[in-house]
Structure 1
């Protein structure tokens, strides 16, 4: 087993194969990105408080504190009052199995094919481009996921759960008071969706080609939908929507006690190429960039500077990186921006405009059925 003590900024490259990654930190940021390279790389840009311990044994790479075990989150609340804050970035092979545990820290995981599990208490979690099974559990932190294709399971107490451009065969999500927003893209396979909330609102946006048996229930909230194949029933304040969409091969079930439920239809225009939308290039404008508005009242668009989420390779550990030693090369780490959907809201009733452009988010008011 190899072991490193990291008490200040440092970079490490691991030549031995890495098949499993464990990261357990308190406060700060954790970035994990998949790479096609055979070796794993670690960059610790900031360490405040006790040092991190990095170990590698039998294909398992662990980045954690010695006094904080993976099992038992209550032990992560430091009774000695020591301030902890870290900025950690890792690049691992895409097939690596990843387990991340954070308390008050932001976790960003992207570009992996292996199983991914994230546990958090108050930090937000962002998941992007994952094709393997994903499970994320949080207490008060939000979970935002984009472009996932593997089976997905999300759980939260008060944090919001948001999935954009999901193509998952199975989606299970439950929350107590947080909202659940699910945007599903076109798929060529049946989908099994189950969403449960106590007081949080639920919004689901489905493509036109959806094939599913639908059942949505709320005891005290409202229900709105945009599909002709669905019907409403239920006495007094309770509402229930059932029906079949397409062939009914899949299943969609949403349940909330006092929250509202909205079933929205994904505009067909969102599947069209961008050059057919309202930002298409105007004749004579030249170049490949889309034409921008010429109205002088519109402020200029200033592009932001992109930063990398993955650490730069620094070569194999040299003599300063030997087990039980600490180095101090400086490094900088970019933070990945969370993927936030701009067009889904559980507070909406399903009404809106559908102008045929890529910005359309809800069905026409003539398609809406509100009960």
Structure 2
């Protein structure tokens, strides 16, 4: 295994990378897929604590602050006095799998065909033009996604989720939250089997075929759009769920039927 210490802004190029894993506390991580066969990392900002890059023999490229592990991120063991900050941009091959972990950094990923996993605490997550399977876990950070054509699963605690999707045959979109609001925007002509459910939050839809299902203590709506070949499943405990018909920029509670 080879390792590099990064304590100032710099740019590095790596050959033979088969997967990328990052652990970031604060700052920003942006990953863009390219047609190149190599990985380019540009660190434009780095705080008092150095940033480390390690290339394993199996092709895994690991980037992050020393002593930062996924166990620490999950258990919240990174205190303010150990605050670590970095702004990092990566250009990776489009088929390179990504595993991105963050405490409160902004995470951006776009133009990839590979599988992507994002685990974010309080930072926002932005996804664009991804064709591989996508899995996101977030605590309080928002999730904004557009142009995703593979299977998608998003799990949120209190962060808001906004997804613009074009359902395709046998494609599954599964979104869940505890208290975060969920907005799903689909083209006016879509093929999807839809299930929306919130225990205490309102459920709304702009599609006439997605109708309310009366159940004591639940707000639920179901229905098929077109042939119903794909699946859109959104559930929440207390967050609002909105199904929108239109363009990606149309995210808002206007012209909807609401069911108490």
TM-score range (shorter-chain normalised) is 0.7 to 0.9
User: Among 171, 174, 177, which residue is 1:175 paired with?
Assistant: 177
CA distance, structure 2, for counterparts of residue 69 and residue 224 of structure 1 = 40
User: Among 232, 249, 253, which residue is 1:342 paired with?
Assistant: 249
- Relative to structure 1, the CA distance from residue 97 to residue 69 in structure 2 (aligned partners, 3 Å threshold; closer, same or farther) is same
Name which of structure 1's ranges 256-265 and 60-69 shifts more when overlaid on structure 2: 256-265
Q: CA RMSD in A?
A: 2.7
Provide TM-score, normalisation by structure 1.
Answer: 0.62
Q: Report which of the two has the higher share of strand.
A: 2
User: Among 205, 211, 214, which residue is 2:191 paired with?
Assistant: 211
Superposition deviation, residue 265 in structure 1: 3.5
User: Among 209, 213, 227, which residue is 1:247 paired with?
Assistant: 227
Is 1:102 the counterpart of 2:102 in the alignment? yes
Question: Residues 25 and 102 of structure 1 are in contact (CA less than 8 Å); yes or no, is this contact kept in structure 2?
Answer: yes
Partner of 2:84: 84
SS in 1 for 2:49: coil
Partner of 1:7: 7
Question: Residues 192 and 228 of structure 2 are in contact (CA less than 8 Å); yes or no, is this contact kept in structure 1?
Answer: yes
SS in 1 for 2:105: strand
- Relative to structure 1, the CA distance from residue 263 to residue 101 in structure 2 (aligned partners, 3 Å threshold; closer, same or farther) is closer
CA distance, structure 2, for counterparts of residue 80 and residue 232 of structure 1 = 47
Superposition deviation, residue 239 in structure 1: 4.9
Is 1:265 the counterpart of 2:172 in the alignment? no
Superposition deviation, residue 241 in structure 1: 3.7
- Relative to structure 1, the CA distance from residue 3 to residue 38 in structure 2 (aligned partners, 3 Å threshold; closer, same or farther) is same
Question: Residues 183 and 242 of structure 2 are in contact (CA less than 8 Å); yes or no, is this contact kept in structure 1?
Answer: no
- Relative to structure 1, the CA distance from residue 42 to residue 184 in structure 2 (aligned partners, 3 Å threshold; closer, same or farther) is same
Superposition deviation, residue 79 in structure 1: 4.3
Between Structure 1 and Structure 2, how many residues are aligned? 257
Structure 2 stretches of 5 or more lacking a match? Answer: none
CA distance, structure 2, for counterparts of residue 228 and residue 141 of structure 1 = 32
CA distance, structure 1, for counterparts of residue 223 and residue 146 of structure 2 = 28
- Relative to structure 1, the CA distance from residue 97 to residue 242 in structure 2 (aligned partners, 3 Å threshold; closer, same or farther) is closer
User: Relative contact order (C-alpha < 8 Å, sep 6+): which is higher?
Assistant: 1
CA distance, structure 2, for counterparts of residue 178 and residue 66 of structure 1 = 32
| CA deviations over 1:43-85 (Å, ceiling 9, x no partner) | 1111112211111122111111221123342566334813321
Structure 1 stretches of 5 or more lacking a match? Answer: 186-206, 271-340, 351-367
